[in-house]
Amino acid sequence: MGAHSLPCLTSPIHKLILYEPPIRVKNVPVYLDEFIDRLDALLAAGKREEVLILFIQEVLWLPSDEFELFRASPTWPTRLAAAHTPSRELPA
């Protein structure tokens, strides 16, 4: 049974978000080194918010209206505090 069938086993679910990580192909990088370098350069310059915005735009492809809601959420400061993690975790 896949995750897509789980809502059938519980009370009504109005929204379901599934994340499918990129499929790795041997010797083919999922994210270019240049993208990681851009994240690292922004981080080194202390531009944590720009790191997070770039990651959300380039990797998550979050629509701008949803991004503004995300940015206004109470979790935004926590996300900013963790802005150093994408450039470390994406190549892994």
pLDDT digits (tens, 9 = 90+) for 14-66: 777 776 666 666 776 667 778 899 999 999 999 999 999 998 888 888 888 89
| Cα 8 from Cα 22, distance rounded (Å) | 26
DSSP string, 13-82: -S------PPPPBTTB-SS-HHHHHHHHHHHHTT-HHHHHHHHIIIII---HHHHHHHHHSTTHHHHHHT
**pLDDT higher for 67 or 89?**
67
**Entry pTM:** 0.65
Residue 30: phi and psi, rounded to 5, are -75, -40
- What pLDDT was estimated at residue 20? 66
- What pLDDT was estimated at residue 6? 56
CB count within 10 Å of CB 59 equals: 15
